[in-house]
Amino acid sequence: LHPPPVPLKPPIFRCELGYLACAACRSQLPGNWCSFCVHGGGGAYALCPGLDILVRGVKVPCPYDVYGCRSHVPCCDAVDHQRRCPCAPCGCPEPGCAFRGSPAMLLDHIDAEHTRPAIVLRYGRARSLSLPLARRWHVLVEPQRRAVFLLSLGALGAGAAVSLICVRANAAAMPRRCSLLPSMEKREQQGCSKKAKVEELTEGHGRQDAENGALALLPAETQRVDLTLKLDRAYLHCPICTLPLKPPIFRFQCAAEHLACNKCYAELPKHHCYKCGHIGCFCRNITLENVVGSARIPCPYKVYGCRADVVYHEAAGHQRACRFAPCGCPEEGCPFVGSPSMLRGHIAAEHPRFGPILSVPYGFEWNLTMEQAQRWQAFFGQEDGSVFLVSQGELGGATTISLVCVRANGGAPAPQYKCRVVVVLPGGDNDNTMMVSKVRSSALSGGAPAPDHGAFVGTQRELLSGESVWLRIRIDPLPVPAAGAAAGATPNSAPPDGAGRSRRSKWQR
């Protein structure tokens, strides 16, 4: 209701239809009736203690955290904190200097970049200083509270002027009074006592104003500040089953407005509160549903490349399907952990002896030659970038060729694939061994998969000639099954994982 919109601050009021009002706006409404639904049966406003607790629990980091402030304050108090924050940024008194930081950071900057150590002073004690006029400004610091002051010198008519300011961006902080007794050679002493003036020092070019005793810099352009909310996770979970709340959400009409998720609500008595025993009934908590629907968190696999911000109650489902879930490296002993796309770069950089990572199209047969001593070969699909791994192993006196899709989340709704792998033997096509199978997934948590893992085909060692193994491989994406379709219900479905077909089996389209 407030123009422009301001953060909700307790006490918060709500009408029966869920419209909200802060205390200031409610006091201006005639008869305490909701202005949105006065003709629609919404009724008068009433206190909303549950939302008061939620609003107080929503905390944000100070926007000046990059300048050293470590406070997390309730969102409704963030503006007031920002006005008082001692880490609010200021500029540098040196004209043309691009520094921007807190007063404490300014001390280090001046010492390092302008080689001017700060002059220490203490409150309530006089300090005699001898300052050259060639230096237009000097920094003073009170060590107990780390307050920073700027003493500047300038010309005023035929004489000179001395001004003192406290370097801070927030003028609402505690005021201080100073006494200045300047003296110059061959000139009569002049004394003055005045309140230390507070000026905001921001980025820009310097300006000396000796008459009013202030040194200021031209203000910098206003910058947009993005805030990240910090909220206790308990506010977003059902107090009964402790699972994340998702619409619809119900609240009992008692003083504490005890909550229940949809599943728990169906199992609770409807005419008295399960927690405090108050007589009443449940109703939808539209306000909390809006809050829960807008509460988003970054994917836990953000460090591996996922940029999704997902609704909190959908985060677990997203994590189970995220294509950036980390996997390992097929090389034994390699400590790599990263997404499949990161694995491609890792193999190229750290294991170049296994050859370049091939890019292959789906739906076409292509040839691959591997040395018998080569344990694995990686390649990826041109269409979607999925990473696959062909590996060699020994199983019962035979050489096995297995193929897996490298990913940690291989279940639905991830894309599914089928493959055909042909081991080309010297005797011609009639002697070749072949298998057709659905492609399994592997996160490679223990290195290259075991010889019997995934889709594999075995060939007697004596049938192989030379030092190389010749393969023909084809991979096809499987169609997305219709909702509710049973696995394996169609006659053309893929055989069980790892089950090879006869070498004369035909490719199933």
What are 202-227's pLDDT values in tens digits? 333 333 333 333 333 223 333 333 34
Q: Which residue has the tokens 């049938």?
A: 463
Residue 196 lies in a domain: yes
Structural domain contains residue 243:
no
pLDDT (0 to 100) of residue 484:
46
93 found inside a domain? no
Q: Coil, strand or helix: which one is 220?
A: coil
Q: 109 with 30, same domain?
A: no
Q: Assess whether 109 and 204 both reside in one domain.
A: yes
Q: Is 41 in the same domain as 139? A: no
Domain extent, residue 211, equals: 103-124+134-180+191-217
Q: Do 36 and 115 fall into the same domain?
A: no
Residue 2 clears pLDDT 60, i.e. is over it? no
The pTM for the full model equals 0.53
What is the structure's pLDDT at 53? 80
Q: Which of 167, 202, 217 is the last residue of a domain?
A: 217
105 touches 68 (CB < 8 A): yes
3-state secondary structure 310-359: EEHHHHHHHHHHCCCCCECCCCCCCCCCECHHHHHHHHHHHCHHHCCCEE
Any bridge partners for residue 404, and if so which?
389, 440
pLDDT confidence band for 143 (50 / 70 / 90): confident
Average the pLDDT over 130-143 and give the result. 77
- Determine the pLDDT at residue 174: 59
Compare 284 and 159 and report the one with higher pLDDT.
Answer: 284
Pick from 159-168, 243-252, 471-480: least confident: 159-168
Q: Is 111 found in the same domain as 8?
A: no
pLDDT tens column, 354-403: 767 888 999 999 998 888 778 888 999 988 889 998 888 877 777 788 88
Mean pLDDT of 155-175: 70
User: Cβ neighbours of residue 305 under 8 Å, at least 6 residues apart?
Assistant: 324, 339, 341, 342
**Cβ atoms of residues 403 and 448 within 8 Å:** no
Residues 3 and 114 in one domain: no
The DSSP symbol for 186 reads T
pLDDT-based confidence at residue 508 (cuts at 50, 70, 90): very low
CA 178 and chain centroid, separation:
47
Q: Confirm whether 205 is domain-assigned.
A: yes
